[in-house]
Amino acid sequence: MSFQPIMLDVDTGVDDAAAIAYALGLEADLVAVSTVAGNIHIDLTTGNTLKVLSLLGAEDVPVFRGASRPLIKPFQDAAHIHGGNGLGGATIPDALADEADLTAPEAIIAMAEEFQGDLTFVAAGPLTNLAIALSLRPQIAQQIGKLVLMGGAFFNPGNVTPYAEFNIWADPDAAAQVFATEWNEVIAIGLDVTHQVAITTRMWEAIPEKFSGAAGLMRKIAARTFTERVRSGFFLHDPLAVAVALDESLVTLEPYAVEVVTDGEERGRTIVRDGGNVLIATEVKAEVFLRRFCDALGMPYVQDDAGLDGAE
């Protein structure tokens, strides 16, 4: 299977690490990764990204450090979910490569220019880097072939407040700018679908402790979710965004316009109305995706109909 060149923007983060592993497992044409503050501080998101790529034999993929804080709002992390080191407390070997010289916004501009209409950009964290790049070079909206973003709670409740999903809430001003831009194609993967795809306790327990590589990484980074935090599932938010970037048939997409609430009690809320250019995922082929995810990471797939009410 051949893919278009893909660039990931991540705040690594346990599910970002899983998303990187998934892209590499599918042998996607991963041309670059940029980092942003979100789940954890920019130093950790950048360091974790370098470590994950090295662990999976992809240390040659360039990593570009991005924004250390949102455009306007104070920085607030999600370490209570991702652990103090962002990887659920998992220890993995040091990186085999250093970060690249360009900043993330500069790299986004450079990659958009280099691949001229062929680049797929997957934003798996707050949209700060992309908003800065847009401000510097608005034409990237025409140069990027497809934008897929993990963010929003369009028809379902949020996960950081009753109204908002974390990535949008973390930098609502950047999100408002990105949603207001006319892209060639923009797909939003929100909690409406990501809350239907998760590694369950039984699936996690089926990964042998001796496994290394991507499956071993998954066992390590998800352990805190199932043991210390005693959750029923580990949501695959960012891996689903990568999956849809590579195969849109996994989801049902409906066009809407999206407005982002930037302040107040409903900060980060994504309000939709008919007739816009944002393709929002409203349904997902959950089992198909989960089987692909497990196969790509080399981990056993276990049919598990357990409820995900306690997942996170």
Question: Which residues belong to the active site?
Answer: 11, 237
Query: What are the backbone dihedrals phi and psi of residue 233, each rounded to the nearest 5 degrees, phi first?
Result: -165, 160
Q: Which residue has the tokens 């327990």?
A: 205
CA atoms within 13 A on the CB side of 168: 34
Mutual orientation of helices 213-226 and 286-297 as an angle, nearest 10°? 120
CA 150 to chain centre: 5
Q: What is the dihedral of CA 84, 87, 91, 92, to 10 degrees?
A: -140
Residues pairing with 284 in the sheet:
251
Using alpha carbons, list the distances in angstroms from residue 17 to 14, 215, 264, 291.
5, 12, 32, 18
Q: How many whole angstroms separate alpha carbon 236 and alpha carbon 9?
A: 16
Coil, strand or helix: which one is 184?
coil
Helices in 227-263 by DSSP H: which ranges? 237-246
Q: How many whole angstroms separate alpha carbon 218 and alpha carbon 236?
A: 11
Coil, strand or helix: which one is 150?
strand
Q: Which residue has the tokens 């809430």?
A: 169
Q: How many whole angstroms separate alpha carbon 264 and alpha carbon 98?
A: 40
